[in-house]
Amino acid sequence: MVKAADAFLTAMERELGAETIEHSVEAVERYGDTTMPSGNRRVHAVLLPRSTADVVTIVRLANEHHVGLYPVSAGHNLGLGTRSPVRDDQIVVDLGRRMNRILELNEELGYAVVEPGVTFQALHDELVRRGDKLMISATSGPPLGSVLGNALDKGGGYSPYFDHFGTLCGFEVVQGNGSTIRTGDGSLHNDKLPNWPVSKYTFGPILDGLFAQSNFGIVVRAAVWLMPRPPVIRTFHAIFEHDDDIGSIIDAIRPLKLTNFVPTLFRVTNDLYAIGPEERAENLGRQPDARDISPEQRRILREKRGLGAWQASAAFYAGSEADIAPMLARVSSHFRNKGAVRIIDHAQAQLIHPLLIASDSFSGRPTAAELTLLSWRPGGGAIWFLPGTPMSGRTAAELDVLARGLFAQHEFDYIIMHVAGARFARSLYLILFDRRSAEECHRADACYRALTSAYATRGIGVGRAAIDYHGLHMDLQMPAFQQTVLAIKSALDPNGVIAPGKYGIG
């Protein structure tokens, strides 16, 4: 592998120049850094393409020399792998460093055509510069995360445009076999393509989905649809007092979303998820042998921050305050009837930091404030476990008891947010641990695997996965699905040069 990789880099330097390659110790260590219990990865080198033509050259040479490439966009996939390859000794292709242009921004039709390096913050700032007429769908992730990378990994937001992959249109892809294709109405054999950014469904099969959570090719550009910014955005927050209120909360949200009375998704955060960005576990005066926070310490934190065991947050959009007032009154009454102990309005929420984070998210404002949650415990270890639940209160309550018990069994703090829609809620469980401790790494890994097994037994998979567990989750898929995925990989990337092992493929 090393000889092949070195020969590949020599050919790379000859064709694209030495400035396209980084292989200093500092660079390869930075790109191999993770928050995973298994430790960091060895990276052989880092490539910095400037254009689609450069990516084509890289893939062609990788096929000639049979080396593994690992494409990343901005490399801020925190808690899931950051920018690190799944396997050691791959060559990272950093698409974000130089391929970071907004190629088109169409305010009339509401879209931007972006390269992989365009971040949420960069796109937001450009929209503001142009008058703030359009808004992005923000995430809980870093503002410097890639718009395109997040969508291709099935990331999401909270606004009506929450389905980030669903709001992509018209890809340009360098496939593993070296050919370049366009999808949607870009697939016409023509240089003038007015429908490429606005129409997904041209004649023939829809190919876009092949490149979501796969290693079949490298997406080098796509359009992302943007939402017109409403004149008025007002959030509301229903506070619930007890851990076992989660079933009532889910049942309360469902009719509001099935009718689309509330246009955004709901952020349903437990106390530690909401409070964690502003507190640190080591400051709570735990007993020396205590590994997770006590119920009494949680109660004290809730009283200190003015929050509950659960916070259900969402927002209304309208043309004026007067338009929103009756909607807020109706939803407040609805939640009080379902057991909410308090309703916190938009103005009050601006003074409560965890709720201000939610307000920013619903308003399409990128924020790094929630990321400080990753420092709740020392040591830098973090894994997201991302299953989901149908919008059934009974099912959500059963799964909450299950997960809460497994976190307690492995002695980790129970940190969870549900992002709830009409029929389904994505659950974001966060396992935080000290990577400096082999014993904590072992417990974190065991906790993740126990959660995976328990949910899979109940017919529930995950939407995204940390790099330590791509193979684990692929092994849980039905054999015919696995065989089909491998057949597509063989057809589009016959030498297996694109991210071998990513998503458990190849």
183-227 pLDDT tens trace: 999 999 998 999 999 999 989 999 999 999 999 999 999 999 999
The pLDDT of residue 401 is 98
- Three-state DSSP class for residue 141: coil
Side chain identity at 388, as an amino acid letter? Answer: G
Note the pLDDT tens digit of each residue in 271-304.
999 999 999 988 876 554 567 788 999 999 999 9
Tens of pLDDT, residue by residue over 301-318, are: 999 999 999 999 999 999
Tokens of 64: 């000639």
Structure tokens at 249: 């909360």
Cα–Cα dist 71/285, whole Å: 44
- Token pair of 14 as six digits: 């000859």
pLDDT over 90 (residue 329): yes
Q: Spell out the domain ranges in the chain.
A: 2-96+494-504, 102-228, 233-465
**Per DSSP, which regions of 370-413 are E strands?**
380-385, 388-390
Distance CA 26, CA 36 (A): 19
The token pair that represents 70 in the structure block: 């690992």
CA distances from 448 to 89, 270, 384, 403, 441 (A): 25, 19, 9, 10, 11
Q: What angle do CA 180, 181, 185 make, to 5 degrees?
A: 155
Question: DSSP letters of 328-368?
Answer: HHHHHHHHHHTT-SEEEEHHHHTTSHHHHHHHHHHTT---S
- Number of residues written out for the chain: 506
pLDDT of residue 290: 61
Q: What is the rounded CA–CA span in Å between residue 47 and residue 8?
A: 11
Instruction: Name residues whose C-beta falls within 8 Å of residue 32's C-beta, 6 or more positions apart in sequence.
Output: 40, 41, 42, 43, 84, 85
Q: DSSP characters for 415-477? A: -EEEEE-SSEEEEEEEEEEETT-HHHHHHHHHHHHHHHHHHHHTT---SB--GGGHHHHHHTS
Q: Name the architecture of domain 2-96+494-504.
A: 2-Layer Sandwich (3.30)
DSSP character for 229?
A: P
Predicted confidence at residue 148, as pLDDT, reads 98
CATH number 3.30.420.250 is the correct assignment for the domain at 233-465: no
pTM of the model: 0.95
Whether 10 shows a pLDDT value over 80: the answer reads yes
Fold match flag (2-96+494-504 vs 233-465): no
227/239 Cα distance (integer angstroms): 29
Residue 202 pLDDT: 87
Predicted confidence (pLDDT) per residue in 62-114, tens digit: 999 999 999 999 999 999 999 999 999 999 999 999 999 999 999 999 999 99
Q: Show the CA angle centred on residue 264, arms to residues 258 and 270, nearest 5°.
A: 95
Strands 424-434 and 217-225: unpaired
CA-derived radius of gyration, the chain: 23
At the second CATH level, the architecture of 102-228 is 2-Layer Sandwich (3.30)
